[in-house]
Amino acid sequence: MATAKRDTYTPESLLTVAVRVFNERGYDGTSMEHLSRAAGISKSSIYHHVAGKEELLRRAVSRALDGLFGILDEPGAVRGRAIERVEYVTRRTVEVLMAELPYVTLLLRVRGNTKAERWALERRREFDQRVADLMKAAAADGDLRTDVDIRLATRLLFGMVNSLVEWYRPQTAQGGGGTDGEQLAETVVRLAFDGLRTSR
């Protein structure tokens, strides 16, 4: 007698599948049917784990947001001169982005068409605001150049950091592809704060 594929998912492993499908098809373009097919289990099995698509989105972006907000409580982000703290936060943001790549990718692509998406956007803006405040503090200390607008510079800094989700791919066990993560984080910080030119 033929039996349906046994549901061996945990909420965690189901989330991994859901995030992959969301990133491939877009959250808006993903139906429970798509998730069911990708996971190889029935829709009712999925509902056994989660209330629906929105819950999966909330869990996925929470993982990205927890990683990002966690940075702001680390000693390097709360102690010392503002410029050192903002460099620390930049470096760690790159590291979290690489460690939680599919989750942060999803967070950055959220469009705001549903309540869960708007909540994610709101939290993301909150994080950006916290970093913008740090940048302002560094400017007030006289450690940032005065001929650029700080709000604009913060946007460009995030633009550079967030662009990683478009091209960064982790190094495989075979050693193929990918860029060394530590080098990448360091390059972002050096480029943004010291610039690419040799000192004149």
Residues contributing to the site for a second copy (CB under 8 A): 26, 29, 83, 142-145, 147-149, 152-153, 155-160, 162-164, 166-167, 179, 183-184, 186-188, 190-199
Candidates 32, 53, 56, 27; CA nearest to 43 is: 32
Residue with tokens 């940075």: 71
| Nearer of residues 2 and 152 to a second copy, judged by Cβ | 152
Between the CA of residue 155 and those of 65, 71, 116, 132, 161, what are the distances in Å? 18, 19, 24, 9, 10
Between the CA of residue 107 and those of 2, 41, 150, 152, 182, what are the distances in Å? 40, 26, 24, 21, 23
The minimum distance between CB 136 and a second copy, in angstroms, equals 12
Q: How far apart are CA 174 and CA 86, in angstroms?
A: 35
Candidates 74, 83, 5, 81; CA nearest to 46 is: 5
| Nearer of residues 12 and 133 to a second copy, judged by Cβ | 133
For 62-77, b/e burial (b = at least 16 CB within 10 A) is bbbbebbeebbeeeeb
Residue with tokens 């992959």: 20
The minimum distance between CB 135 and a second copy, in angstroms, equals 8
| Nearer of residues 48 and 111 to a second copy, judged by Cβ | 111
The minimum distance between CB 192 and a second copy, in angstroms, equals 6
| Nearer of residues 46 and 94 to a second copy, judged by Cβ | 94
| Nearer of residues 41 and 144 to a second copy, judged by Cβ | 144
The minimum distance between CB 121 and a second copy, in angstroms, equals 13
The minimum distance between CB 111 and a second copy, in angstroms, equals 11
